[in-house]
Each structure stands twice: as C-alpha cells, then as structure tokens.
Chains A and B, each alone.
Chain A
Amino acid sequence: MKYYEGDCVIELDVNNEIRKATVRPSDVLLDVLREQFGLTGAKPGCKNGDCGTCTILMDGLPAKACLVLAVEAVGHKILTVEGLGGHTPIQEAFVQYNAFQCGYCTSGFLMVCHALAERKPNADEYEMEKWLQSNICRCTSYQEIREAVKSVLKHI
C-alpha cells in the first residue's frame, strides 16, 4: 500500500463512479462516504466494528466501513446501499418480510445479505447465520430478517 502523509487527495471507486476526496490518512472510509459523498446509508452505530450498521461491500465482500481507512479503499470497488439501486431481490425481500423496524441497521444487513446471495447463493442456514452474526438489530426478533434472507437463497 502507498504511504500517505498529511492531507491527501485520493480517488475512490464508489458505486461504479470515481470520486475524489481530500482526506487525512487517519480518516475512516465511513466518515468519507458520509461526510464527503453524502452517502449516509452506512451508519455509525459504534465505530468500533461491533455492530455492523456501517457495512459496505469492498470488491463484493462485506467490510465494516468504520474499520477501513479511506486510503486503504483506494483501488478497490466500493458498493454502498445507495448503489444497490432499490430493487435487488434482498431489498424486495426485506420489504416483503418486514425485516426492519427503525431501519437504522437495515443498510448494513442488506449489504451482508446481498453479498451472501451473490457469492453463496446455495448457502445453508448455518452459513447464513455465520455471515449475519457480524451485525446487530435491536428492533426485530431476527426471525423476520432470517425469513427475508432465506427467500433469496436457493436451497433453504
């Protein structure tokens, strides 16, 4: 990885668009997405990697944007909930199965679930749980999220 010092201008590939940002090397990707690009779908639930509300996809795999430095994200394809477009199977399923209440954890869950459905469409329930345990929902009972995810996986 390149060595960065002081304020630096970087280019990030976010939702299939190249965007420039001026960052400090210590800025986390989450803050840059939210404050410089206005992509506030990823949420700062704990900024400690524990809750998953900030989950985005980096090269198709879930990552916690609060644990990724913005400069580390250079050269990778970043996808946020805004980049899903609104009508992916998992978004439709979340509406269909009422897989949210307050909605604050939803973007993060959607990104994990979307990646799971894309990467492991044949995942079983055990594997699904392992993927989703990175995230916390305080409002639902998880039963609703489970049903939504199952509906987009092939073999459950």
Chain B
Amino acid sequence: MSTTIGENIHRKEAWDKVSGNAKYTDDKPVTGYLHARILTSPHPHARIKSIDCSKASQLKGVRAIITGNDFPVLSGALLEDRPPIAKDVVRYAGEPVAVVVAATEAIALKAVRMIEVEYEPLKAVFSTGEALKKDAPLLHPDLGEYKRIQKDVQPVEYSNIASKFQIRKGNIEEGFSESYAVIERNYKLPPSDHLAMEVRAVRAEISVDGKIKIETSSQAPYTVVKQLSSCFQIPAGNIEVNVPFVGGAFGGKAPVTLEFLAYMACVKVNGAPVRLTVSREEDMATAPCRLGLEAAIKIGAKSDGTITAATFTFYLDTGAYSDISPYMSKAIAVDCTGPYNIPNLSCDSYCIYTNHTYSTSYRGFGHLCYTFCVERAMEDLAEKCGMDPVDFRKTNAIRPGDLTPNQVVSTYSNTGNPELCLEKLKTLLHWDGRRVKRIDNNRVLATGIACLWKSATPPTNAVSGSIITFNSDGSLNLNTGVVEIGSGGQTNLAQMIADRLKMDIKDIHISLAVNTRLNPEHYKTVASMTNYMAGNAVMKAANDVLEQLKTMGAQIYSCAPEEIEVADSKVFKKEQPDQYIEFKDIVSGYQTQNGTSIGEPVIAKGSFLLKGLSKLEPNTGKGRTGPAWTVGAQAVEIEFNQSDYTYKIIKAATVMDVGKVINPNGMKEIIYGGMSMGLSMSSREVYEYNKEGRLNTPNLRTYKLLHIGEEPLYQVEFVETPQTDSPFGSRSISEHGIIGIPAALGNALAAASGIPIQELPLTPEHLWRAKEGIHDSK
C-alpha cells in the first residue's frame, strides 16, 4: 500500500466537531457542581487595606469565600512572582482579589458584588520606559527573594526587570565602521489577546482520601500537575488532570491560571466538585494576554546590501507578572536577526514589569513582535541601499556555515533554506520589483515582504511518549499526551504510524482527551513541537510494534524475523505474501489450528527526551536552545486609499520550508490560519487602557477581530529541506504562519502611504495620526 505521508487526510476528529459531539471542558454536565466566580481588582496598582466578606458570606447559597490570605502561595512558570489571588497588593486591573463558591452561578455573582474591598491606590506604570525610570514605583519590592524555577532567569533586584538575556557576536564597532548605510529606528507594539473562542474553564474535585481531579482547558496538563504539586506541597501522584477538546489556545492556555483558583475553592468546600468558567471579559482582562514590545534597532550595510552589524534592544512589557515571558525574552534574543547572517551583533532583551494585564506565550512565542520591528528596519535599509527588498533579503539570507546569533553553525538540516523560500515567493507573487502600483488618483496597490524564522526554546529536558495497543479487529489505538487544540497534531501522528506500519489510516484510532494518569507525558502542546517530539516517540513505538510482530511472525513461520514483512494490517513471509496472518489474529497473540498459543499481545511504546540542548552563556548568549529552525518568506498585498487611509487586504502569501509535507491541506490551513490571525492582530487588535489603567476593550464588541468578508486571498507553497533528526524530515510549522505577517502588512502600508510605520495596530485612524502627527490626548 502507498504511503500516507504527503496525502490529504481529514482530521480524525472531524465528525465529532461538525455534529456538536466534541466535548470541551465546560460541556460536562453541571449537576452536582458548586459554582465559583471571581472578584477582580478595579485598580492597576493598589494596596488592599481590607476585604470585608461578611455581607457576601451571609447570602443564602454561598458556600465559601477565598482571599489571598487563605493560601499565601506564589506561583510562576519560571519565577514564582504571582499570588494566584492577590495578597496585600494588586498589580493590574482585573487581577483576582477573591473567589466565591456558591450553589448557583447567579448567587456566586451576586455575592461577588457584595464583597467590600478598601484599596489605597499606588502609582502605576504603563510602559517599559516608565518602568525603567529611577523613581519608578517597584511592582515587586521582593523580586530578589522570589524562587527561581529556572536558574537562567535572573531578575534585577530593586528594579522592574524580571529578566535579561543578551547576545554578543563579532565586533560591533568594526562592523559599523564597514557600513555604507546605517539606519536607526524605534518600534512599539501594544499588548493584545489570544482570543481563543473557548474561554478558560476548569472543574476540580477532591476525594475523601485526598485524590485531586482537575478537568481543564489547557495545553499543558502535565504542567498543571507539577505546578499544583509544587505550590501546595501535594504529591504529584495524587493529582490527575484531564483535558478534553480545547477550543483554541494559541499559547494562552499553556500557563496554569484558573486551576489554582479552582483547587483552592475546592479545598474550602471540603473537596466538593467546583466549576469555574470565566466570562469573556475576565478571559481578556484577568487571564494573561500577549506581551507588548518596544524596540530600538540599528543596522548597517555595505553599498552592495551586505549587512555588517546590528544592535537590537528589546523591552518586553510582561505586565504585572512574568509567567513565561523571561523565556520569550530569551527566544527573541536567540532569534533576533531573523533568518539573516549578521556577523557583528549585539542584542539586549529585557523582560519588564508594568501594571498591565500579565502576559504569556502567544502564537510565535514573541517572534511576531520582534519580527515586525526587524523586518520594518530591513525594509528601510534595503531602500537606503537602493536595493530591491527581495534581493536585499536574499543577499543576507543565512546559509550553511554561517553562525546564528547564539553561535550555532547553520546547516540546511537545522535551518532550512530561506533563499529558496524567497525565490519561490517571487514566482508566486509575479514579483517585478515594484512595491507600489497606482490604480487611480487616490488608490494604490502595494506589496510588503517579510522573512521569518523560529526555533523552539523548550526546557533542555522536555519529554514525550507514546503507547500503542490494538483492538480485537486488528485496528490500532494511539495513546499520547498531545492535546487537540485545533492544530491537528494527532492526525499527523496517525499518518506517521500509518506510513511506518504500511497500514490504512482508517484503522488507526487516537485518544483525543488527555488524562495525565493514563497518557504518557508530553511536555506541553506548545512550540509547534508535536511532529518533532511526539513524532519521534510515536515512530519508536511503531518500530516496537514491527519488532514484536516480526518476532511472533518468525516463530509462527519458523524463520528469521528479518524474513517477515508487515503491511496492509497483515504479517507474512516476504517471499510468500499470499500466505498471511491478519492483524486481528496476531495482535493479541497467535493461536495455531491445534490450539497452542504463540507470542504475547502487542503493547508497544516509544519515548523521547530532548538532547543536545544547553543553557545560554550569560555574556555571549552562545548555546543551543532548540533542535532546529523553521524559515519562511511572506507577503501581503493591499489596496490603499491615500485620501482616507483605509485599505483592503487583497492577498497574503507564504512560502515555508516545512522540511517534509506530511498533510498538504492540513499544513496549508494551519498557515492560512496563522496569516489570518496575524492580519487581524496587526490591522486592528489592541489592548487599549484608559487613564485609570483599566482595559477599555475587554469584550468582542470593542475588541475587533477579522470577520468573514474581510479576508484576502491566501496562498501557501512549500519548500522541503529535510531536518534530518525529525520524522520524515518534517519541521515545526504550527505557529509560524503568523510571524512575518504584521511586518509584511506594515511594509506594504509604509510603501503605499509614505508613513514610517513604527507602531501597531495599523488602523486607518492610527495611520492618519502618524501621517498628520496628531497624537492621542490620553
């Protein structure tokens, strides 16, 4: 039978999703549950002087009220800086201050409004610039005493700096002295939201013997176990986390957030089942968002366009707490150049506290933010050198033998081929070197280009695992810890097994829900690493199946295992394919005609531990943080009206080096989705705060997303440069479609309007303000 790799396979869970049968966390019946709701802070920075729950707790049906004093713990992914419920101080408007548990949701909400909190407002900071000033209020006066989970995260005591990573390569002064053209630019991106359609939700219950059961909408069930265990001193074995379908995540469901609250609420009601589902408004203002970024960039190039040196300074606005942002500052530093060879390089990447909603990983893990800045600067530098923007990028594209910012020697295997991506993009766009074409007096067509790359920055010891069992009809069950968040990861894994075992993918069943007790640990369903990490584990399990079947086959046919072939769900001797044993007759052990048994039931396993990664050298940033990069080139074409600053997005295109195409349509659609999210985010999405530091855009009426009819034509093509240590040579691609899009849109608009675009989002109003020099009075 032919291979399934490279075939268009429909998602395994397709029919569940079109029939209403797919169950998400809060689809579980509510009967038997108590309901929890959160009281949040109206102030961005204030001392909590008192909390009076007496009236609220007297309301009929209220079972418990929890404040920060009940469980004085600190939590955090890298640095334990966040009390799950604010204690003594609130650091952003929207921060949880109390949790009410009641018989119904209506009673819980009523009680929330009856809690009386007295605050003493403190001076707040709303930009990284303000936060770095000498007299800036300190958000975390105890910063130096916080427990560091990862030792390479080094907060600066008595400052608002949660962490810093830096890159030093070559000789900056010499590099700039060779430059013919130098540009210096500043950029600014405000925070925005993941906006998964499913809001965060969690259920918790504790049995009388102390077994904790959590059901949650999470990308990281195994991390929920670990963080609950470490925060509350519970043996990890007592915690079971279940994750059914997840209704979109985009990084926003990788941190542990509501799980802490539900657990504490559950403890307070003696383990009775508790349900906590936040409102959309809380999902935006209370739960973590995408970070903001300010950047200062200087790049120099020779007259032929060869870049000689660059300095990058990035200030990440992580909001009130650091969560995973220190590692985003690391990821940004490591990949700061984009897929270009810059021999002399300096990069400082700071993660800074402000009184904004705290932030967490977002599709692309910080890459789309810095890429907007770097690719806008590249565009200006190309122009200053008088070069075609595509040729300029090709001239500087990273090639085998070049050193990446973290001084890894680039190879086709670990980096892919950005030059080929650009070449293919040119063909796809029918590129003639003209960025702007006039349509009439007011309107122009403009095209913007941007390149992207990204490597994952997982912990150096991240794991994955897989178990394969069989059903009595010979069909196969694949068991992994991969969460189905919408990226179709498990279908890709099934394709890999189908190929390895030469069996029909229809006979492969996948376990879509994850239970941390039953499914082998998969680090997190993040960083687009399912194909690589789970893929490697799954391939080992498939090999284990083959070995077990061949051993049994050899016993049955009295030959050597090497003489046995497995294909089409059959086991046979290579030279006698017409005499075979069907899977259903062998996967539970084989019985001969006279009743004797041979072999054992097939239960196969494969596990994977990341190897060869290292922490960065603190001074130079030298070190290997991820297994490989994925590179790509993107373009956005717009029709811009110069009279009123409105524009229509006509086309968005991506050429991505995916290593190997596993599922063409599936991979294209993930990239389409990324481009769509990038266009939505860069053209309109923004967390707007009012003067009081409260979110002005906490719902979908004020926070606008792209709707149908506003989308352009999407085009995706692939380059296949294999990553040799990954199954079938495939690379990570789930997040990547978003990364270069804000920059490409910015470049198109800059060309069309003549406005030196340095901020997002690119609304007509913002463009008009930039052109006319009219600043917000706020």
Chain A residues within 8 Å of B, Cβ to Cβ: 24, 34-35, 38-48, 50-51, 53, 80-82, 84, 86, 91, 94-95, 98, 100-107, 110, 129-130, 132-133, 135-146
Out of A82, A98, A107, A136, which one reaches B705, CB within 8 Å?
A: A136
| Chain B residue with Cβ nearest A46 | B280
Given A45-B280, A95-B14, A98-B10, list of 4 further CB < 8 A pairs?
A98-B14, A103-B245, A140-B672, A140-B676
Contact flag A103-B29 (CB < 8 Å), given A141-B676, A143-B714: no
Binding-face segment, B233-241, B423-431, B482-490, B563-571: B482-490
Contact flag A141-B673 (CB < 8 Å), given A101-B488, A102-B197: yes
Binding-face segment, B16-24, B596-604, B743-751, B768-776: B16-24
CB contacts (< 8 Å) of B149 on chain A: these are: none
Q: What's the least CB distance linking B217 to chain A, in Å?
A: 10
Q: What's the least CB distance linking A27 to chain B, in Å?
A: 9
With the chains together, A138 CA to B680 CA distance in Å?
9
B279–A47 CB distance below 8 A: yes
A133–B672 CB distance below 8 A: no
A136–B247 CB distance below 8 A: no
Asked whether B409 is an interface residue with its Cβ less than 8 Å from the other chain, the reply is no
B24–A104 CB distance below 8 A: yes
B700–A46 CB distance below 8 A: yes
B700–A136 CB distance below 8 A: yes
With the chains together, A38 CA to B27 CA distance in Å?
8
B486–A103 CB distance below 8 A: yes
With the chains together, A107 CA to B27 CA distance in Å?
13
Out of A86, A94, A104, A133, which one reaches B248, CB within 8 Å?
A: A104
With the chains together, A95 CA to B22 CA distance in Å?
14
With the chains together, A47 CA to B19 CA distance in Å?
22
A48–B20 CB distance below 8 A: no
| Chain B residue with Cβ nearest A129 | B709
Asked whether B317 is an interface residue with its Cβ less than 8 Å from the other chain, the reply is no
With the chains together, A34 CA to B31 CA distance in Å?
11
A136–B672 CB distance below 8 A: no
CB contacts (< 8 Å) of A53 on chain B: these are: 197
A-B pairs with the 5 shortest C-beta distances?
A41-B20, A104-B247, A102-B486, A103-B17, A50-B700
Asked whether B212 is an interface residue with its Cβ less than 8 Å from the other chain, the reply is no
Selected A-B contacts with CB under 8 Å, 12 pairs: A45-B197, A45-B198, A48-B280, A48-B701, A101-B669, A102-B197, A102-B245, A102-B248, A103-B17, A110-B18, A137-B197, A143-B714
A50–B701 CB distance below 8 A: yes
A138–B14 CB distance below 8 A: no
B487–A101 CB distance below 8 A: yes
A48–B488 CB distance below 8 A: no
Q: What's the least CB distance linking B645 to chain A, in Å?
A: 23
A144–B247 CB distance below 8 A: no
CB contacts (< 8 Å) of B18 on chain A: these are: 86, 91, 94-95, 100, 103, 106, 110
B197–A140 CB distance below 8 A: no
Asked whether B665 is an interface residue with its Cβ less than 8 Å from the other chain, the reply is yes
With the chains together, A68 CA to B195 CA distance in Å?
24
With the chains together, A145 CA to B10 CA distance in Å?
15
Contact flag A98-B11 (CB < 8 Å), given A43-B198, A141-B675, A141-B711: yes
With the chains together, A105 CA to B13 CA distance in Å?
15
CB contacts (< 8 Å) of A82 on chain B: these are: 19-20
Asked whether B708 is an interface residue with its Cβ less than 8 Å from the other chain, the reply is yes
| Chain B residue with Cβ nearest A133 | B707
Q: What's the least CB distance linking A120 to chain B, in Å?
A: 16
CB contacts (< 8 Å) of A102 on chain B: these are: 196-198, 245-249, 485-486
CB contacts (< 8 Å) of A130 on chain B: these are: 709
Out of A44, A136, A141, which one reaches B669, CB within 8 Å?
A: A141
Within 162-215 of B, Cβ neighbours of A (below 8 Å) are at 195-199
Q: Mark B454-482, 1 if CB is under 8 A from A, else 0.
A: 00000000000000000000000000000
B699–A144 CB distance below 8 A: no
Asked whether B71 is an interface residue with its Cβ less than 8 Å from the other chain, the reply is no
| Chain A residue with Cβ nearest B679 | A141
A136–B665 CB distance below 8 A: no
With the chains together, A42 CA to B709 CA distance in Å?
23
With the chains together, A45 CA to B13 CA distance in Å?
21
CB contacts (< 8 Å) of B706 on chain A: these are: 142
